[in-house]
Amino acid sequence: MPTLTYRDALNQALREEMQRDPSVFLMGEEVGVYQGAYKVSRGLLEEFGPMRVVDTPIAELGFAGVGVGAAMAGLRPVIEFMTWNFAVLALDQIVNSAAKILYESGGQVPIPIVFRGPNGAALQLAAQHSQAWESWLAHIPGLKVVAPATPADAKGLLKAAIRDDNPVIVLEGEMLYNTKGDVPEGEHVVPIGKADVKRAGTDVTLICHSKTVVPALKAAEQLQEQGVSAEVVDLRSLRPMDEETLVASVVKTNRCVVAEEGWPHCGIGAQVVDIIQREAFDSLDAPVLRVTQADVPMPYNKQLERAAKPSPEKIVAAARRVCYLD
């Protein structure tokens, strides 16, 4: 199996889907001539031409709306946001148009659109450019939200998102684009709504998604050295959410820690905890703990930024607490 970066896995998915279906096109800031702010669209303009790889002005609301209109007309747009921090400007099109038109048209007008781009903090991009938006987006009925953590999942979920007849949000990660992993060639589609056990364990379940999968796996290794067997469950899909896999894991381990990049209040972890307490109540040996970004705007200062982010150490500490080891 070839080893690819997350970036190239996305590129492969886009290329394959554009080859497969002429109604698929890519649109966004710098996706064409510049080949993408993060080089995800490298080579696509050359291969598919300016009708299918469309550079836009700096006008998120405008090109998101063009995308929704194109989807209404029968195309399958992939809208790239340079980051989700900028996509806030386009939320009206995403929330009020893309997510609602199928409903408001009485099921007559599907919107097969993908909105994608990097989400969450990178390094020292400060408060306005270091935000995790998944709980905003996953809150909305009418949207599907996926957040792949590995190159293979990035390819498989982006392909599934493009083929889906509903608006799908694909949350990527600036810090993930350079990560490498084995990626199946060709037809590799990861179904939306399925979590993935990234590491099996018996003593505590670490639930994570996107960028927190990395610190969760590191935490599991550290815990192993301390005699605690941690199971790492990658949500992959935030809406719909794979309750079955989460519950099965917690029923097995009896303890759970949920990690996410977002803020604690009304976060994705809050939704996970709701599922766990409801469906696995009698299996819980300890309250579920959450590891999140500190409940503050992201500091620019390097040390403070590190202190504010979820980390393997924070996940280990929480796991030890739910195991009553500290």
Partner 1 sequence: MATTVFMEALSPTMEEGRLVKWHKREGDAVQVGETLAEVETDKAIMDLQARADGILRQVAVAEGQTVPVGKEIAVIVAPGETVGAGRGTGDEGRVAPSPAATVAAPSPAPRHSPPAAAAADAAPVKASPLARRMAKESGVDLKLLTGSGPGGRVVRRDLETAAARPAATVSASAPVAPVPPPPSPVPVSRTGAPYEDVPLTQIRKTIAKRLATSLGPVPHFFLTTEVDMERAAEARDALNRQLGDRGKVSFNDIILKATALALTKHRACNAWFQEDHIRYWNEVHIGMAVAVEDGLITPVIRNADVKPLLEIGREAGDLADKARSRRLQPHEYTGSTFSVSNLGMFDIDQFTAVINPPEAGIIAVGSIVQKPVVVDATVLPRRRMRITMSCDHRVIDGATGAGFLKTLKEMLENPLAMLL
Nearer to partner 1 among residue 298 and residue 323 (C-beta): 323
**282: contact with partner 1 by CB under 8 A:** yes
Contact letters (x/-) for partner 1, 252-271, by CB under 8 A?
A: --x-----------------
Active site annotation includes 139: no
**281: contact with partner 1 by CB under 8 A:** yes
**274: contact with partner 1 by CB under 8 A:** no
**286: contact with partner 1 by CB under 8 A:** yes
Stretch that binds partner 1, among 4-12, 97-105, 217-225, 277-285 (CB under 8 A): 277-285
Nearer to partner 1 among residue 165 and residue 285 (C-beta): 285
- Secondary structure of the chain in HEC code, one letter for each residue: CCEEEHHHHHHHHHHHHHHHCCCEEEEECCCCCCCCCCCCCCCHHHHHCCCCEEECCCCHHHHHHHHHHHHHCCCEEEEECCCHHHHHHHHHHHHHHHCCHHHHCCCCCCCCCEEEEECCCCCCCCHHHCCCCHHHHHCCCCCEEECCCCHHHHHHHHHHHHHCCCCEEEEECCCCCCCEEECCCCCCCCCCCCCEEEECCCCEEEEECHHHHHHHHHHHHHHHHCCCCEEEEECCEEECCCHHHHHHHHHHHCCEEEECCCCCCCCHHHHHHHHHHHHCHHHCCCCCEEECCCCCCCCCCHHHHHHHCCCHHHHHHHHHHHCCCC
- Among residues 129, 139, 243, 279, the one annotated as catalytic is 129
Nearer to partner 1 among residue 145 and residue 275 (C-beta): 275
- Among residues 17, 29, 60, 305, the one annotated as catalytic is 60
**284: contact with partner 1 by CB under 8 A:** yes
Residues 100-159 that bind partner 1 (CB under 8 A): none
Q: How far is the CB of 250 from partner 1 (least distance, A)?
A: 10
Nearer to partner 1 among residue 19 and residue 202 (C-beta): 202
**324: contact with partner 1 by CB under 8 A:** yes
Binding residue for partner 1, selected from 46, 221, 274, 285, defined by CB under 8 A: 285
Nearer to partner 1 among residue 283 and residue 311 (C-beta): 283
Active site annotation includes 60: yes
Residues labelled catalytic? 60, 129
Contact set with partner 1 (CB under 8 A): 254, 281-286, 324
